[in-house]
Amino acid sequence: QTGDERAAKIPRYVRVNATCWDMEDAVKEFKSRGYALSNPFEHKKGFQKDEHVPNLLLFSPESQWVEDELYKSGKVILQDKASCFPAHILSPPALDSAVVIDATAAPGNKTSHLSALMRGQGKLYAFERDKRRFGTLQMMLQKAKCRNVEPVNADFLTTSPEDSKFSAVTHILLDPSCSGSAPGRTQGPVAELESTEEQESRLNKLAGFQLMMIKHAMKFPSVQRIVYSTCSIHATENEHVVRAALESEESKAGHFKLAPRKDVLPTWHRRGIPEEMNSPDDGESLVRCSPGEDATNGFFVSLFIRESSSSSSKR
């Protein structure tokens, strides 16, 4: 399957930005433009609601959005379905007292999703260490009309979990740089030029950094839920990192475990690779998306929770 053939099978996913308006009004708007609720692969003017992610619509892969007023004004956000899973699974509360961290935020799609789920309430710290990407993040937050986000141009690893600003942080999203962040890198021609050893060494380096990020997140005193996600397909950056995180001192000290499948998008069919985990249940806890097979890009999501926390969410 070529990249173009794969792309033709992925619908254009359009997230209705609930900070600006709701799904009902969005559906009305599209109907008034001549769209009808039907299969977007069969009808150019067909659109559908996604079955897993609320506020996500599917349009034809050929539909054009960049010049659309709804896109330009931030009322809709172009975001692949799999990339909507992390915020949906983290499920931050919509409360004035809520304090949440997006540790690796730019360009900001997941930040604006988190902010919408929080209904603009509480506080969302959005860290981005790269200056140029931080500028993009700021623009994106403005465009998406996020009210409760404080963008911070800093390395998440340099933040002190003991800082009183963060003492009430209960939810952390970690979507760090991975081998899939540069499109075509691991699954395309550049990667094919790499020797196996070169690729392994690059993936191991990334995995070391990703593990450090999870261990740092586990040190925040009130954190109850940590989502770790990548857009990589490699077990080295996914199951192996999660396994090492579960075996770490930080995890033991904080009593973390993987949330059970029933709390992590239970109706999604593709789960983690069981042979790469210490128990079949741990494999079931994880979510994977396979490029070309699931009508999404490649993706991986895990949810760590504290043993003591009684998980009320049924995502």
Q: Which residue is nearest to ligand SAM (CB)?
A: 104
d(C-alpha 291, C-alpha 10), whole Å: 9
Instruction: Output the smallest distance, CB 153 to ligand SAM, in A.
Output: 9
25 marked among binding-site residues: no
Q: Counting beta carbons within 10 angstroms of the beta carbon of residue 161, is it exposed (0 to 12), middle (13 to 18) or buried (19 or more)?
A: middle
Judge whether 177 and 137 are in contact, CB under 8 Å: no
Q: How far is the CB of 301 from ligand SAM (least distance, A)?
A: 12
Biggest CA-to-CA distance, the chain: 57
CA distance 175 to 82: 12
Shortest approach of ligand SAM to residue 77 CB, angstroms? 10
155 is in an annotated binding site: yes
Nearer to ligand SAM, 45 or 123 (CB): 123
Is 231 known to be catalytic?
A: yes
**Minimum distance from CB of 87 to ligand SAM (Å)?**
9
CA gap 241, 218 in Å, rounded: 14
Where are the extended beta strands (E) located within 17-98? 36-37, 46-49, 56-59, 76-78
Q: Which is nearer to ligand SAM, 129 or 271 (CB)?
A: 129
Compare residues 110 and 315 and give the one whose CB is closer to ligand SAM: 110
- Is 51 a known ligand-binding residue? no
Amino acid at site 301: V
Other CB atoms within 10 A of residue 198 CB: 11
Beta strand spans in 193-261 (E): 225-230, 256-258
Under a CB-based contact definition with an 8 Å cutoff, are residues 123 and 99 in contact? yes
Residues that bind ligand SAM (CB under 6 A): 83, 104-110, 127-130, 133, 155-157, 175-177, 181
- Minimum CB–partner distance for residue 127 and ligand SAM (Å): 4
Helix axes 109-117, 131-143, angle to 10 degrees: 40
Q: Catalytic: which of 84, 146, 231, 289?
A: 231
> Binding-site residues for S-adenosyl-L-methionine, please?
128, 155, 175
Q: Which residues are annotated as a binding site?
A: 128, 155, 175
Task: Give the residue numbers marked as catalytic.
Answer: 231
